[in-house]
């Protein structure tokens, strides 16, 4: 072979190898920069979110949270435009699909994962639009939003669906090596429990004569009912397991309630919750709302409230009408 030709081939091989090494280096460098940029965005969100949760006013909280979410999703869009080759934000979900395809996750378990994935995507869309939860409350550095309340059909019956986002529960990541010592498995531990979900339903208060203040011995509301529960039917402590860039430090969930009695006009909700720090210290919180009942949430007039039980209760036992000594009916219904 001509020596000059061999030299040309050698130079071509060196140039090709150098180009390959350079591309690999630039790819790794871009991937590293992309990860650093994502960490910056997520860290900034985590630093700013607690201040929003401390705002007691629903209006102030809503304004702050909407502004924070606009910044967050805007920063993610800018990130994707800057690093288009690394726009893959469902790696965790793709891994679940892969494990289902290979048989490691069976049918019923995968169906539950799919239901959670759909619920998380719904919440993600709500956060990316003009996030405006109809019920919102702060307590103990945490915030509880019922971001969607609607009437739905479930198991052939009309229900009231309440989707929530609980911001601020404590979480930690635990790492453990597999038996083969070749891989590390991460487990996200979220300490978040609803300890009580209590609803008091009332009718319209009897009219008080014009010019006179309400007295303790005035007749109570014509209707009084209670519903009691605790943990929701659906709770997703790790939404970022389904959508990788879902804002951190939030638990999603859903309650399904039976329709309210037609006589009820407004309700009082008290939700107790607790989260635990890394060292096990409890952070209890109590969220309270007073809500007018929409007609769409009620049974038809004359329709029986199935499963209700009628009790007789002394109002003094529950802090009612001092000195009246009168008893009033209370209808209690349990739910989850």
Q: Is 326 domain-assigned?
A: yes
Q: Is 275 domain-assigned?
A: yes
- The percentage of residues in the chain with a pLDDT greater than 70, rounded to a whole number, is 74
Asked if residue 194 lies in contact with residue 271, where contact means CB atoms within 8 angstroms, the answer is: yes
How many helices (H) and strands (E) would you count in the chain?
Answer: 4, 12
- In this prediction, residues 83-103 reach a mean pLDDT of 86
Note the pLDDT of residue 329.
42
Q: Is 101 domain-assigned?
A: no
Structural domain harbouring 321: 133-334
Q: Is 18 domain-assigned?
A: no
Q: Is 56 domain-assigned?
A: no
Tally of structural domains, the chain: 1
The DSSP output letter for 214 is -
Q: Is 297 domain-assigned?
A: yes
What DSSP string describes 122-153? HHHHHHHS----SEEEEETTEEEEEEEEEEEE
For residues 163 and 257, what is the distance between their CA atoms, to the nearest angstrom? 11
Q: Is 64 domain-assigned?
A: no
Note the pLDDT of residue 326.
38
Q: Is 203 domain-assigned?
A: yes
Checking DSSP bridges between strand 282-292 and strand 309-313, what pairing results, if any? unpaired
Q: What is the pTM of this model?
A: 0.78
The DSSP output letter for 257 is E
- Band (pLDDT 50/70/90 cuts) for residue 324 is very low
What average pLDDT does the chain have?
A: 81
CA angle, residues 220, 226, 229, in degrees to nearest 5: 155
């Amino acid at each position: 072979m001509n020596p000059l030709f061999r030299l040309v081939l050698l130079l071509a091989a060196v140039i090709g190898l150098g180009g390959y090494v350079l591309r690999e280096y630039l790819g790794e460098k871009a991937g590293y920069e992309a990860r650093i940029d994502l960490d910056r965005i997520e860290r900034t969100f985590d630093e700013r979110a607690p201040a929003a949760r401390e705002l007691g006013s629903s209006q102030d909280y809503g304004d702050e949270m909407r502004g924070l979410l606009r910044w967050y999703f805007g920063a993610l869009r800018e990130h994707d435009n800057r690093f288009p080759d690394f726009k893959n934000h469902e790696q965790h979900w793709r891994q679940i699909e892969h494990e289902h395809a290979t048989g490691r996750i069976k049918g019923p378990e995968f169906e539950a994962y799919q239901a959670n994935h759909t619920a998380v995507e719904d919440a993600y869309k709500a956060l990316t639009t003009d996030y405006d939860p109809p019920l919102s409350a702060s307590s103990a550095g945490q915030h509880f939003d019922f971001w969607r309340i609607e009437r739905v059909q479930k198991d052939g019956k009309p229900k009231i669906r309440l989707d929530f986002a609980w911001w601020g529960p404590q979480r930690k990541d635990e790492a453990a090596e597999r038996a083969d010592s070749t891989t590390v498995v991460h487990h996200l531990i979220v300490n978040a429990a609803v300890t009580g979900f209590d609803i008091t339903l009332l009718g319209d208060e009897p009219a008080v004569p014009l010019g006179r203040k309400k007295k303790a011995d005035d007749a109570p509301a014509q209707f009084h009912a209670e519903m009691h529960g605790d943990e929701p039917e659906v709770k997703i402590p790790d939404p970022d397991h389904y959508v990788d860039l879902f804002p951190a430090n939030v638990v999603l969930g859903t309650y399904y309630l039976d329709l309210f009695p037609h006589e009820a006009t407004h309700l009082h909700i008290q939700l107790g919750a607790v989260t635990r720090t890394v060292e096990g210290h409890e952070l209890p919180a109590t969220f309270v709302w007073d809500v007018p009942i929409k007609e769409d949430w009620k049974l038809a007039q004359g329709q029986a409230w199935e499963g209700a039980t009628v009790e007789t209760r002394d109002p003094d036992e529950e802090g009612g009408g001092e000195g009246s000594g009168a008893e009033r009916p209370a209808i209690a219904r349990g739910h989850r």
